[in-house]
Amino acid sequence: MAETQIADFGLRELVTFRVGQQDFCIDIMMVREIRGWTPATILPHAPPFVLGVINLRGSIVPIVDLSARLGLRPSEPDDRHVIVIAVVGTQTVGFLVNAVADIIGINQSEVQPTPDVASDATRAFIEGVIVTEERMLRVIDIKTVLPKSMETAEAG
Amino acid sequence: MSTANEIRQTFFQECDELLEALDDGLCEIDEGIADESFDLETVNAVFRAVHSIKGGAAAFGLDALVHFAHQFETVLDVMRAGELTPNDDVMKVCHRAADHLSDLVAAGRDNEIVEGDLGTEIAAKLSGLVVGSESAKPDNDTESETFGFVPLGLPIPTNTDDEDQELALNRFCVRFTPSAGLYTSGNDTSLLFRELAELGELEVTAETDRLPDLKNVDPGESYLSWVVILLTEESEQSLREVFEFVDGLCELQINLDLDATMPEGSPDATKDVDDEAQASSGVAAEESDSPTMVAASSPDSGTERAKPATGPKATVRVNLDLVDRLINMVGELVINQAVLTQCIKDAGLLDRGELSTSLAEFRNLARDIQESVMAIRAQSVKPLFQRMARIVREASELSGKDADFLTEGETTEVDKTIIERLVDPLTHMIRNAVDHGLEPPEQRRAAGKAETGHVKLTAAHRSGRVLIEVSDDGAGINREKVFQIAVEKGLIPGDSILKDAEIDNLLFLPGFSTAKEVSNLSGRGVGMDVVRSAIQKLGGRVSIFSQPGKGTTMSISLPLTLAVLDGMVVDVAGQTMVVPITAIVETLRPKAEDIHPLGADNQVVSVRNKLVPVIDLGVVFGHRRTPAPISDMVLLLVESDGSESWALAVDQIFDQRQVVIKGLETNYGHVPGVAAATILGDGNIALIIDPEETAHRSGPVADVGDRARLEEV
């Protein structure tokens, strides 16, 4: 649905947020809700960027520290942090970010390929960049930032 | 397309019910054989079940199924005509046929083809039965042949009814009373008669008795009825085909004129037609909601229908996903209620009389709703038991041991998922009971027992759990042999001194098999250890009890549902976790002198002179780096397959309560050592520990390297 709209109008709506000192964004169609940080229950043997699981109205939702996942400094979550709940396929995952900024509408043609300078890790997670007057927005490829065990879980 | 699929699905659902009814009926006949007390109605019910399967199968072009059902039906028809008296042998074939029928249905559902000549073999046996009775009354066959196809009016492949057409002229007497609906739907009686005339010599008499005076005539009403005498070579089937399109719009009685072709002249024929009408009205009512169809159930069958109406209660077919969603939501409601209570308590408002009363009411309501919803998922174990009856039949045939299968507590209700997952372990246990449990007939005779062995399967509710027992009256466990084998296989040291119960439990060790030769039945490399772990995965326990010379009993104790679990809520280095109660043997606070260090950082605790390794859950789950002093902690003694035990060290025990199980797999994946998660009263998540996996992972093999690898995942 979202994709057909993109094809038809070339228009995309993105939710922008701040992680560390950088601005990122994801497609709004993937975002289910945005909520304040609540302490998560630690998952044993989880990768360091998985903070744990929280109770989202009865479902168990894992929380990914986006900062740690993107190779930036791991966050120390407090009340000012925000969780962006996203739906990826059949999975519901929460991403811990510093703050949500706004929602912007852009033309698909405004998304530029990720410059080569970025490190491998960063480039893998970034679908492209958008340059506006005062800032650069990195478009996150949400599927790649999921922890690996989430993908393997489907096979098992 | 999707409608066709839906109808197809409905058909297979109905098949399941019909197969169950079929099995029921056959068992009822079984019981009545000795004193010939079985009801003819039971035979009719069995016949109708097979017949309905056949009818539906034809509509979906499942030729193999139709063909076999037809052969089966022929036998049953002869039986209900009283020309074949059911005895043990006949019933054995019937049971086999029912089993094969259910195979064929399953194959049809999965679009597979049943391999092998089992079907042919059974079919041959079936026709053997018919031939036996036919030789006495050769005329019967055509007559029985004709009943197959009335109710649904479906396109039946011709091979089923062309088989043994007789060329003798039949004299049919047809009484045809159209309803007003027949005319309003555009049918014309004269066309029907013209079509009949093509079949043979026709004589039509109109009955005008009900025709009122002209001034009273309602032009929309139907007043006429006809009596048709037809001399034809065709079967009754062809006659009915003529009336196919007005089925349900008229009263139709077709009698083979008995004076002409059936010298025995029994009134049975008429009765059969009535039965058929009865069956057809039943099917019609189910297939279509059209009011005319329902109205078609002729008044004379109405009286007979009153009886079965008292039988099964009305049911609704619901998509299982919907039920699961409801269960989920109710689970959340219960959690939400707990959160709410906590909030109100925290706000210090709980003392207000009214508030706490309504809160208590709310809690009770939520609990009630939860229980009722769980009850929707509950199913009786009857279908499961019926499947097991089949296993016994097959096993006794293959092993050459006669076995009677007795069941008790068939109506016991258990969660559907549990029933599904019980099939394999129970199958294995039943096979074992026949193959290993029962002695061969000679040996039984020598021991002064009846040659026919008994295998008993019972189910009962016992203090919030379900208890299922498989028992046989065989020789019991040969403990010497079991011990010897266990030693030979290196499972236990040769000088072990074991109690009887401990020897019995050796059977559950992985890789244990007592069968000298690997028989076709049990011993396919699947041991009792698999049974045990399958049961444990369901939160159950298996135990074994054996008396030499008297037999063996295996009991399975299971939770009523998989959605809820009895757990011990514990504190593990500041994290709240839940340990399933079923796994815990005992809890203890160790004395300092009972704890012994072993190696660099391992410790064991001695419990009644048995040394048990201690596992600090805080370390296993990475909540702390170094083990805390054991003396401050509480140990939970857990046991697993092969009677291995571990002591799980936790900081403290909070509570023991029922928790709603929530899977981690949907949104995350499997976490080593963690079975699932649950939501606590305060809305926080607690992980439910899988004690066995935890213990295995933390065992001596899991060194630092392993742990590091885990973290990479």
Q: Look up the CATH superfamily of B1-156.
A: HPT domain (1.20.120.160)
Query: Residue B225 has what pLDDT?
Result: 82
| Tokens representing residue A74 in the block | 């791991």
How far are the Cα atoms of A114, A135, A139 from residue A129, in angstroms, in the given order? 6, 10, 6
Is B668–A53 a contact, with Cβ atoms under 8 angstroms apart? yes
**Number of H helices and number of E strands within chain A?**
5, 10
Place of tokens 């005329």: B139
Q: Which of B39-43, B331-335, B355-359 has the highest mean pLDDT?
A: B355-359
How close B247 comes to chain A (CA, Å)? 48
pLDDT at B117 over 80: no
Range of the domain at A91: 2-155
Residue A145 sits in a domain of what CATH number?
Answer: 2.40.50.180
- B599 φψ region: left (φ > 0), alpha (ψ -120 to 50), beta (else): left
* Strand pairing class (B610-616; B645-650): parallel
At the top level of CATH, the class of B381-559 is alpha beta
Which chain B residues touch A68 with a CB distance below 8 Å? none
**Alpha carbon A135 to its chain's center:** 18
pLDDT at B563 over 80: no
pLDDT at B499 over 50: yes
For residue range A43-102, what is the model confidence (pLDDT) as tens digits?
A: 888 888 899 999 887 788 999 998 888 888 888 888 889 999 999 888 899 999 999 988
pTM above 0.80, yes or no: no
CATH fold for domain B168-307: Alpha-Beta Plaits (3.30.70)
How close B530 comes to chain A (CA, Å)? 20
How many domains are contained in chain A? 1
Separation of alpha carbons B498 and B415, rounded Å? 37
Contact with chain B for residue A92, Cβ under 8 A? yes
CB atoms within 10 A of CB B485: 18
Is B662–A90 a contact, with Cβ atoms under 8 angstroms apart? no
pLDDT at B276 over 80: no
How far are the Cα atoms of A2, A16, A131, A137 from residue A113, in angstroms, in the given order? 21, 18, 11, 12
A87: nearest Cα among A127, A17, A146, A138 = A146
Q: Note the residue count of chain A.
A: 156
Show me where the domains of chain B are located.
1-156, 168-307, 320-379, 381-559, 564-712
pLDDT-based confidence at B122, cuts 50/70/90?
confident
Contact B526, B428 (CB under 8 A): yes
* More confident position, B510 or B64: B64
Which chain A residues touch B664 with a CB distance below 8 Å? 43, 53, 60
pLDDT-based confidence at B277, cuts 50/70/90?
very low
Query: Residue B532 has what pLDDT?
Result: 82
Query: Residue B306 has what pLDDT?
Result: 41
Which chain A residues touch B685 with a CB distance below 8 Å? 40-41, 53-55, 60
**Alpha carbon B184 to its chain's center:** 46
* More confident position, B570 or B272: B570
B551-559 β-sheet, strand order: B403-408, B453-462, B465-472, B551-559, B541-547
Query: Residue A34 has what pLDDT?
Result: 92
- From the list B669, B710, B712, the residue facing A150 with the nearest CB is B669
CATH 3.40.50.1370 fits B564-712, yes or no: no
Mean pLDDT of B310-330: 75
Task: For B567-607, give the secondary structure using H, E and C.
Answer: EEEEEECCEEEEEEHHHEEEEECCCHHHEEEECCCEEEEEE
Contact with chain B for residue A36, Cβ under 8 A? no
For residue range B339-378, what is the model confidence (pLDDT) as tens digits?
A: 788 788 888 877 777 888 888 888 888 878 877 887 787 8
Query: Residue B523 has what pLDDT?
Result: 44
Query: Residue B168 has what pLDDT?
Result: 62
Query: Residue B449 has what pLDDT?
Result: 84
pLDDT at A139 over 60: yes
How far are the Cα atoms of B398, B434, B438, B551 from residue B453, in angstroms, in the given order? 14, 8, 6, 10
pLDDT at B99 over 80: yes
CB atoms within 10 A of CB B19: 21
Separation of alpha carbons B188 and A85, rounded Å? 68
Contact with chain B for residue A5, Cβ under 8 A? no
Q: Which of B107-116, B252-261, B443-452, B507-516 has the highest mean pLDDT?
A: B443-452
pLDDT at B619 over 60: yes
pLDDT-based confidence at B538, cuts 50/70/90?
confident
